[in-house]
Amino acid sequence: MAGGRERSSRTQRPWSVYRANTFELSSEMIGLALAGNSQDPDEPVLEFSVACTDLLTPALDRKPNSFVAVSCTTPPQAFWTKHAQTEVIEGTSNPIFLSSIAFFQESNINQQTQVKLAVYDVKDRSQGTMYMLGSALFPVKELLQDKHHRLELELRSAENKRVGNISVAAWKMEEKADHRMSVGRFPDSINGRTVLPVDESLTESMGVRIKYASLCKDTLLRAVFGGTMARMYRFPTTDGNHLRVLEQMAESVLSLNIPRQFVKLLLEEDAARVCELEELGELSPCWENLRRQIVSQYQTIILAYQETLSDLSDYRGPSFKASNLKAERKLEFMATNLHVQRMRVQDELGFEHTYDVITIGAPAAHCQGFKNGGLRKLIQKFEEAKKHLYEEGCSALSSSQSIVYIPQDIVRAKEIIAHINTLKTQVNYYAERLSRAAKDRSASGLERTLAILADKTRQLVTVCDCKLLASAIQALNAARPEYIASKASPSADSEQVVLRNDQDTLLAKWSGSNSRSSLHVDWHEEEWEKVWLNVDKSLECIIQRVDKLLQKERRPSVSSQDSCQSDQQAAGSKKGDGKRRAFWINPGSLSQESPPSPSPSPSSSSSPSSLPALSSARPPSPDEGSYGSPNIEEAYPGEWSEALYPLLTTLTECVAMMSDKAKKSMVFLLMQDSAPTIAMDLSLQYRRDVVFCQTLTALICGFIIKLRNCLRDNGFLRQLYTIGLLAQFESLLSTYGEELAMLEDMSIGIMDLRNVTFKVTQATGSSAPDMLPIITGNRDGFNVRIPLPGTMFDALPREIQSGMLLRVQPVHFNVGINEQQTLAEKFGDTSLQEMINLESLGRLNSYYEQFKEVLPEDCLPRSRSQTCLPELLRFLGQNVHARKNKNVDILWQAAEICRRLNGVRFTSCKSAKDRTAMSVTLEQCLILQHEHGMAPQVFTQALDCMRSEGCRRENTVKNVGCRKYAFNSLQLKAFPKHYRPPDGTYGKVET
């Protein structure tokens, strides 16, 4: 295994070294570390490659399938600890191993450390039968003191017979040509395949290296990621040089942190929904019964969220959910097997190139099961049920038996509530700002703040000036007990809401004489118009008053008469009028038109009796002064504040009254719409929440690591705040059986990411918790704040520093590759996969078109590829439309397009353990070959090396405690060739 290490001490890992004490690194050891990086935990303090020659086996007619196991011991330790092993190379007596052996800082080796190299011959890889050919020992000190840092050792069998030689060559950074292994002793071919000689071309000065963000050392990444493990490789290139490859895999604390925040937000949102229903006030018995039914359903779902939040808060395990826990109810909001997979490539010039992929088990509601399908199918059923109810309601409307709102009304009602909540808060905020500006006598502040206040207030008035609101207020008033009492009292059975359960759907009909068609009785739309006109008028008076104050400030010698009668009333308020109220509003002006509310319930503000009406302001009495009168020759310090305070109070009170009425009417409208399908709606929403939370966690991890990597990439940052971040999800799920339902879940979770925005802020402190993201918002839209340390935040462009919201454009491509997909292609249905890929192709093309319209090509990263982006997109389109079975070209091309467009990559299968491992290792080798010139002769060897001894093999241990991929030989016959692991690395294990 290449350079094995594991940072997390939570679970014992094979091939890793753990020590309690720390040794000082000798000057020679530091000399072997990368220049300038001896204290970087990402870099090894000692790295060497091994190669064997003249290996002998007892059967002379057979060449060995060999690998080298590396063990070490440091005095006074008296036993050997297995540290790493190489990949298996088949059918040669002279193997050259691509995986290098790396000792990192936590290995705590010193000059006295003894290293044992044991060479094994694997007789049967599938069965794991092997025997040791021979071994050799050397102390680290001997390797360090050798002039060329190279050792040639004899391999001795247990019977002390010579069975071959093994060469050890340490990699050193300061010098280049003088310390290379001799090239001449390596064979030109193995089994007829050309092999380029091992060449220490990277042992040159690293003065030109590009800085990168270390997963283990960087302030931001260290706060988000942990449990990092690494492997190292040296791969030959077509020009005779070598690539130095560091493969890393790390889990994230966000796997637990994000679900805790997210569930808390859901809990608050649904609790607020219940409060809104309760605040509707007193309703007639028929509507009260309906409200109780809905509240009861909400309380059930709230209880489920409370239990989940409690479970997540009490959880003390690892911040990583193993694949065998994906159906665990207590952890259902946590993403399964979430990791960042990183490959760092150092080329012959010493430049660093970093490639990251977020790997995650398919976001799906495993705990809830897939018997009835996934989200796509369930949403379709729900929409059909709503459509059926709507059509049923429309047909009954002529006989005045139902209350029906068209779907557009429901969408509009939700928008109105959101706008009212936002604009009301903004109006109150800027009213307070205006008051402070008046207190400070800041003319420029007064003008600037008033302009914003006027804009926000007029926006709010525009929102409230609509027929939907007027009719909803009319309906709510008709549902009040006093309204029904004012009519000829109907019998108990002539006025009722009929509830029945039909296919798990709560249906509601309102029958009786007082149907929607008769609600216009004794109601005039003009009364609602007067409510929002009061807001408009109060704003106009503030504008006029500010204008007078500013005129007086500019021309203090010229006195002016107030043209707005509100000024006299304001003066009266200053003189001690104890009963402060809106000066032109007479709350009792409608008392003769409608009966008063029988009880002081919250509904009183929504009844006609409480509607304000415009009335003429009374003339000022003789003892009431006017702020603009000739009697006042000089301005005094509190004049502006005293002049504006009553007017601002009036405005905020009128805004509160209007907002309250409008919001309650919309809540009542939504209550009527949701009642028939509330049980199905909340059950579906819960499943959607579970899936979205898992997807959101992965997205946040990807955003953070991409932002940190590209912190000084001005092209990427400009692209980020201009057209948003491209998030490309790759999945390998089959369209058969349960995985079809998982794919339905996942596709909806990814689509919902369009409602997510990011905002980058400066961290308030330097500790790890200060660097964790903070989620705000609700299901209509979530915002994720990403805190950065001050030095990083200062590197951002002004647009991002100012708090601009950064959007996300998610795309999703799926190609099933296993034996179940073979069944789907022959006997089942692949239409969902085709639909997902077509939709994402359209969004990907749209994203690139946006890019071309507003950004230059030099914003994008450079590529060695001879294929331009438009051609790549054309090839991808051809493949998506081709309907070819297991067309993995779709995945390869989509991944390359994503990288070329500065996007973030995500890869998934059912558990992110087996098929995902095949995908990410293949992607890494394709990148090495296409972008870094890795020799094509070693492509298959490099791929097998990463799969047998790389980080993804260790991922299987983390999940199920076994170093085998969960495949069998029969399954693998159905896999595309490049997705098959080497023999001996798979078997029947838990998935």
Active-site residue list:
909
Are 528 and 521 in contact, with CB atoms under 8 Å apart? no
Alpha-carbon dihedral of residues 637, 641, 643, 645, nearest 10 degrees? Answer: -160
For residue 208 the two structure tokens come to: 């030109």
Pairing of β 162-170 and β 150-156? antiparallel
Quickly list DSSP for 960-980. HS-SSBS--HHHHHHS-GGG-
Are 596 and 622 a contacting pair, CB within 8 Å? no
In angstroms, the CA 930 to CA 939 distance is 11
Residue partners of 765: CB distance under 8 A and separation at least 6: none
Are the C-beta atoms of 497 and 510 separated by less than 8 Å? yes
CA 722 – CA 859 distance, rounded (Å): 12
Rounded Cα gap, residues 480 and 909, in angstroms: 54
Distances (CA, A) of 641 to 425, 568, 644, 735: 21, 16, 5, 68
In the sheet with 242-252, reading across from the earlier edge strand, the strands are 225-236, 242-252, 339-346, 352-359, 904-908, 725-731, 808-814
CB-based contacts of 762, cutoff 8 Å, min separation 6: 787, 788, 789, 790, 793
Phi, psi of 487 (to 5 degrees): -95, 170
Can you tell me whether residue 519 is helix, strand or coil? coil
The Cα–Cα gap between 74 and 521 comes to 94
Residue 885's contacts (CB-CB under 8 Å, 6 or more residues apart) are 821, 822, 825
In this structure, what token pair is assigned to residue 972?
């693998």
Q: How far is CA 763 from the centre of its chain?
A: 19
Q: Which two tokens stand for residue 555?
A: 């021309």
**Chain center to CA of 117:** 45
β partners of residue 375: none
Integer angstrom CA distances of residue 933 from 235, 342, 614, 871, 938: 10, 19, 80, 22, 11
Question: CB-hemisphere CA count at 13 Å for 93?
Answer: 16
The two three-digit tokens of residue 98, written as one number: 């691509």
622 vs 824: CA distance, rounded Å: 91
**How far, in Å, CA of 404 to CA of 385, rounded?**
14
For the chain, the distance separating the N- and C-terminal CA atoms, rounded to the nearest angstrom, is 23
Question: Counting every residue, how long is the chain?
Answer: 991
Q: What is the CA radius of gyration of the chain?
A: 36
